[in-house]
Chain A
Amino acid sequence: MKDEFIALINQHEGILQKICNIYFYRNPYKEDYYQEILIRLWKSYPGFRNQSAFSTWLYRVAINTAIDIVRKQSIRPRFAEISKFEYNIPESESNSESDQKDKLYRAINQLSDIEKAIILLHLEEYSYAEIGEIIGISEGNVGVRINRIKNQLIKILGNGKH
C-alpha cells in the first residue's frame, strides 16, 4: 500500500505544490506544511475507496488539511516564540514572469479559505460538477461563486492592490 501511495503522490505532486502555494504563499513554513499534508494524506489513504478519482480525493484531503493548518495557526498562542524560519526574508524573484505569479498569488491570498479552493479547482480546469463534489456545494452554486471570485480577483489585479 505504501509503495502505491508514494507512486500516486509522485504522479500528482504538482497538485500539492499548488495547494501549498495557494494557502501558504511566501510562508516560511511552507515546506513543513507540505509535509503535514503528506502525513494527513497517508493517514486518510485507507479511507480512499476508488469511488472518485485519486486527484479528486487528493484535492479534498489536502485542501481540508491546509485549511486546518491555517486554523491551527490562528489558535496558536499570541506570543509564540519566533523561529529561525521567520527571520528569513524570502528570496525575491525579479523577472516579469515571477512578478506575474507573485501578483496572482497575492491576489488569491486575499480570498477566504473556501474561495481559494474554488478558484484553484477552476483554474485547474475542473468541471463545475467536480468542483461541487470536492467542495460539497451544488453545480449551480459553483458557477455563481466562480463568477463572483473571478470578478473580485480581476478587480484586485486591475487596481494593483496586492
Chain B
Amino acid sequence: MENTDLNRMWQNAHIQNKGKISEGINIEEIIKMNHCKTISKIMSDIKLRILLYSVILSVFICLMLYAVVYLGINFSIGSIVPFSLVGLFLLISTTMEINRFIVLTKNADNLPIRASQNFFRKKLNQVKTIDFLSYLILLYLLAILVIRGYLQDIGGFKNLSGTNGFQPIILIFITILLLTPWFIKYQNNQRYRKIESDLDDPTN
C-alpha cells in the first residue's frame, strides 16, 4: 500500500456521505443549551457528589464543634482516631470530586491544538500539585497534633512502652496520616494517566 492509496481511500470513503449526523438536528435549538446530554450528565453527577460530600462533611464538622465547644466533651485520643478517619475520608472524597470538576471545566478552545493541550497540562499539574501540598500540610500537621496529644495523655516520652495496647493503633493511624498524601498523589497519577499519556504524545 502506498501514500496515494491512503488519500484515495479517504476520498472514496466520503463520496456518498452516508449517515449524516446533522440530519434532523436543529442548530438553533442546540446552541441554546449549555452542554449536550452526555456531558451534562457527567457534570451534574459530579456536582451532585460534591454537594453530597460537602453536606455530610459540614454536618460532621458542625457535630464535632457542637460536641467540643458547646457540650465541652473532652475526647480521649482513642475516640479522636475513628472520628479523624471519618473526617479524613469525607475531606478526601470532597476535594477529589472538586478537583475532577475543575479539571473537566478547563479548556481553551480558541487556541491552536498544541497550545490548548499545554494549557490543559498546566492546569492539570496545578490541580495535582495543590492537591498534594494541601494534603501534605494538613495531614502532617494532624499527625504532629496526634503525637503531641498522645504524649500528653501518657505523660511524656518516658512512658512509651510496648505493653500499651493502644500504642499500635496510634502508630497505624499516624502512618496512615503520613502516607495518605503520597497515596493521593499516586491515585491522581493513576486517574489522569490516560490523559497524560496523550499529552506526552511524541507529536507534541
A9-B27, A69-B39 known; A145 vs B203 contact (CB < 8 Å): yes
Cβ–Cβ contact B113 & A157, under 8 A = no
Q: Interface residue count for B (Cβ, 8 Å)?
A: 55
B164 in the interface, Cβ–Cβ < 8 Å?
A: no
Q: Which residue of B lies closest to A43 (CB)?
A: B109
Which of the 9-residue segments B67-75, B99-107, B152-160, B172-180 touches chain A?
B99-107
Q: Quick one: which of B22, B31, B109 contacts A65, CB cutoff 8 A? A: B109
Q: Quick one: which of B31, B35, B113 contacts A64, CB cutoff 8 A? A: B113
B163 in the interface, Cβ–Cβ < 8 Å?
A: no
Interface secondary structure of A, over-half rule: helix
Tally A-B pairs: CB < 8 A: 168
Chain B residues near A77 (CB, 8 Å)?
A: 45
A161 in the interface, Cβ–Cβ < 8 Å?
A: no
For chain A, which range describes its interface: under 10, 10 to 19, 20 to 34, or 35 or more residues?
A: 35 or more
Q: How far is the CA of A136 from the CA of B109 in the complex (A)?
A: 13
Cβ–Cβ contact A39 & B34, under 8 A = yes
Binding site for A on B (CB under 8 A): 1-3, 5-7, 9-10, 12-18, 20-22, 25, 27-28, 30-31, 33-39, 42, 45, 100, 103-104, 107-117, 120, 191-192, 194-195, 198, 201, 203-204
Binding site for B on A (CB under 8 A): 2, 5-6, 9-10, 13-14, 16-18, 20, 29-36, 38-40, 42-44, 47-48, 57, 60-61, 63-65, 67-72, 74-77, 80, 83, 93, 97-98, 100-101, 103-105, 112-115, 117-118, 123, 133-137, 145, 149-150, 153-154, 157-158
